[in-house]
Amino acid sequence: MSDVILQLDSISKKFDGKDILKDFNLELHRNEFVTLLGPSGCGKSTTLRIIGGFVKPDSGRVLFDGTDITNLPPEKRNVNTVFQKYSLFPHMTVAENIAFGLKLKKKSSKYIADKIDYALKLVNMEGYGGRNPESLSGGQQQRVAIARAIVNEPEILLLDEPLGALDLKLRHDMQRELIKIKKEVGITFLYVTHDQEEALMMSDRILVMNKGIIQQEGSSKSIYDEPQNAFVADFIGESNIIDGIMVKDLLVKIQGVDIPCVDTGFGTNTPVDVVIRPEDLEVVSKEEGFLKGTVTSVIFKGAYYEIKVLSDGYEWMIQSVNPAPVGEVVGLTVLPDNIQIMHKPASDDEEVVRDE
């Protein structure tokens, strides 16, 4: 495809004999917002650093616009990075920080001055040009870091957990602003985070990573609605994941009860993982439910109640606008549409990693 701007071609990387990336492939398209999402230590930063040129892969190629740049040093790549720790030069003012890359490119001082103004406006920091980075808040420093990268007009902007050090409120503001900036400058963004909410909200495309391989790739909606394995289901949002048996097409047995579903093609009597989102379960009277269990706790969470129901040794989590009486036996139902059936993991790389 012609609008592929960057391609990682079966990249492998070991650190201290441990596989960090294994035969890793990735394609970035022009003007796309792609997010690498995965738990800590899964190799997200390593992937970015390979693209930025700070880490050499053991094998595989990095192709930029079709050209092999695997051995090109970082300063020669038309890619810029926004670091988690901002990494502003403390001995330069905000304006000097932003001008750093442009001066090296020998741009005219008029051009540089215009660019600084433009970039400061873009990140909502007009009038801060003469300030010292140390006198700025974390959020402001990160804005400057973004401006400093963007003025160089890179083809790809790499962002390694750029909002990781900010508090929740500021994160939300910055997320919206980043999307705005992205729209304005039209640069390809490769964004790293381990915050699934952030990924779901910002990205055109999400790559869910674990243990150096991509578990699933797709739009926010498809990843949330149709996780392909238990790792993705567990990592993206909260889920009930339970063993089941696909009796035949359109019928799955959970906790000894046959429940209609919409999935086909798993064969007969196949062990599977079943995923049901907490908001898709409904508490009903014990006669009406597929499953029966005792309500063990009800917690008010603001917009909904989080209800836990113990049934046959498994604690189901339910999100509901109505509370349920603790200690009572209730029934649970779910629409066939909302049951996700997944193959059992083929390798332990896909093993569910629960709340790290």
Partner 1 sequence: MSECRLKKINRRSFLASPYALWIVGFTILPLIIIFKYALTDGAGAFTWDNLLSIFSDVHIKAFWFSIEIAAGCTIICILLAYPMVLAMKNLGLGRKGLSMFVIILPMWMNFILRILAWQMILSNNGILNFLLGKLGMGPVAIANTPAAIMVGVVYDYLPYMILPIFNAIMDIDEDLIEAARDLGAGGFTVFRRVIFPLSVPGLLSGIVMVFVPSMTSFVVSDILGGGKLQLIGNVIEQEFTVGYNWNVGSGLSVTLMIFVLISMMFTVKQKSEGKESVIW
CB hemisphere CA count around 214 (13 angstroms): 19
- Residue 80 contacts which entry, Mg ion, ligand ATP, partner 1, none (Cβ below 5-8 A, type-dependent): partner 1
Tokens of 243: 């063993």
Site residue total, ligand ATP (CB under 6 A): 12
CB 223 within 8 A of CB 35: no
Q: Which residue is nearest to Mg ion (CB)?
A: 45
Nearer to ligand ATP, 44 or 77 (CB): 44
Contact status: 16 vs ligand ATP (CB under 6 A)? yes
**Nearer CB in complex with Mg ion: 45/80:** 45
Segment interacting with ligand ATP (CB under 6 A) among 39-47, 297-305, 318-326, 342-350? 39-47
The answer for residues whose C-beta is within 8 angstroms of residue 302's C-beta and 6 or more apart is none
Distance of CA 61 to the CA centre of its chain: 24
Query: How far apart are the C-alpha atoms of 167 and 239, rounded to whole Å?
Result: 26
Which one of 40-48, 100-108, 237-245, 265-273 is the stretch in contact with ligand ATP (CB under 6 A)? 40-48
Instruction: Look at residue 105 and give the partner it binds from ligand ATP, Mg ion, partner 1, none, a contact being a CB closer than 5 to 8 Å depending on partner kind.
Output: partner 1
Contacting positions for partner 1 (CB under 8 A)? 52-54, 73-76, 79-81, 83, 85, 87-92, 100-101, 104-105, 148-149, 152
What spatial distance separates the first Cα and last Cα of the chain, rounded to whole Å?
A: 38
Contact 223, 208 (CB under 8 A): yes
Residues 168-197 that bind ligand ATP (CB under 6 A): 194
Is the separation of the CB atoms in 308 and 263 below 8 Å?
Answer: no
Candidates 14-22, 101-109, 303-311, 324-332; binding stretch for ligand ATP (CB under 6 A): 14-22
Q: Which of 215, 210, 274 is nearest to 239 (CA)?
A: 274
Contacting positions for Mg ion (CB under 5 A): 45
